[in-house]
Copies of this chain bind each other. A is one copy, B any other.
Amino acid sequence: MDKIGIEESIRALSVLRTEGMYLDDFFLTWDKTADEIQAVFAVAEILRGMRTNNISARLFDSGLAISLFRDKSTRTRFSFAGACNLLGLEVQDFEEGKSQVAHGETVRETANMVSFMADVIGIRDDMYVGKGHTYMEEVSAAVKQGFLDGVLEQRPTLVNLQCDIDHPTQSMSDALHLINHFGGTEKLKGKKIAMTWAYSPSYGKPLSVPQGVVGLMTRFGMDVVLAHPKGYGIMPEVEEVARLNAERYGGSFTKTHSMEDAFSGADIVYPKSWAPFEAMGKRTLLYGNGDHAGIDALEKELLSENGRHKEWECTEDMMKKTREGNALYLHCLPADISGVSCDRGEVSAPVFDRFRDSLYKEAGYKPYIIGAMIFVSKVKSPAEKLMQLLWKETPRII
């Protein structure tokens, strides 16, 4: 995309209604309107275009972005850092170990104390079903109140970097990859995407990826198939979101217990391990009660159950069942690759290798998606500001 292309994209963006996102959080994609979702894609592509053309996208001359990760992370941590840096924000990690949270502070107080200079807060809290999203809502409510009370001079907006319900920065990156791959959002209409469970020798992988994918892809008129062995169901509330989306946007949402059925004629496949929703609920309770014997027993049970479904693997044979044997393979990475990162896993090495570049590009949208989410939450008129930055033409590298 050259400068003229960027200008055109900004003009297209200017007709989308984004006021609802101004000074608001990004928790779940299904909280957002169609315009808002499109605006995030548009801003992401504009930011990417500006960077490719060596035009600085610094919205901020100074400002902090607080990151709070409750789980290990490479991709998301660096994507958040990259996005914030691109816009001129400095990331300050809030590590509970280093801080006084252990000393009994309430979330409300801590949230305000770390936010005096914070424009953005990014949180990843995906470990326990029923906890992550709730925690984010508490933090959001705390800083919103702090802003209203005059404690904070700005309203720090939250970006959900993965919770127990949704993983919007992932699903939006996946979607933007599809949009660019197929040549536009409208081209996704009628495409079949198979979000399917796959075998992994580990257990307890978060549900937010399949949930995020079925909750978002059903908005583009796609035929979304959710496939998993019996007992590996996702959150019922999210299935309901997917059903309603399919109705409203003219696609479909179906479920199957056969990976073959899901792959059959698919344009896109997303084979990925996850833990059963109900088991994760149990685990949260066991952790809450400090029942270590119970946790160990559950882990054994789940691993043994996983082991019964080793045939749920994305092999070249499986890929042949897709539309003209030519489906696009998606994954949030890292994948469990058979014979590479484990004996037997989610995907065979030849399939993974064939899509490596594509997978890396899919991941590469994340910094821009996060940057776009921040951008639309911090300025009233994103199009106007982007045009200003474009015309200013400050080089990123002199």
* Chain A residues near B (Cβ < 8 Å): 48, 51-52, 56-64, 66, 69, 72-75, 77-79, 81-83, 85-88, 90-92, 94, 98-106, 109-110, 112-114, 116-119, 146, 149-153, 333-334, 336, 340-342, 357, 360-361, 363-364, 366-367, 378-379, 385, 388-389, 394-398
Contacts and interface: CB of A to CB of B under 8 A. Distances in A.
Given A59-B397, A72-B103, 7 more contacts: A74-B105, A78-B94, A104-B342, A113-B333, A113-B363, A116-B363, A150-B361
B74 A113 contact: yes
Contacts of A101: 74
A98 B72 contact: yes
B100 A81 contact: no
A60 B397 contact: yes
A104 B58 contact: no
A398 B394 contact: no
24 contacts: A48-B153, A58-B62, A58-B398, A59-B397, A60-B398, A61-B394, A63-B397, A64-B85, A72-B99, A72-B103, A74-B101, A78-B114, A82-B117, A85-B90, A86-B117, A100-B334, A104-B342, A105-B334, A109-B334, A116-B363, A116-B367, A149-B360, A152-B364, A378-B397
A78 B394 contact: no
Contact of A100 (B56, B73, B109): B73
A59 B398 CA distance: 5
Contacts of A360: 109, 112-113, 146, 149, 151
Which interface residue of A82, A103, A341, A363 has the most chain B CB atoms within 10 A?
Answer: A82
Contacts of A92: 78, 81, 91
Nearest to A51: B153
5 tightest A-B contacts by CB? Answer: A82-B117, A74-B99, A104-B341, A151-B360, A56-B61
B340 A106 contact: yes
B62 A74 contact: no
A77 B58 contact: no
Contacts of A79: 116
Contact of A78 (B72, B78, B116, B379): B116
A72 B100 contact: yes
Contact of A88 (B62, B78, B112): B62
Nearest to A392: B398
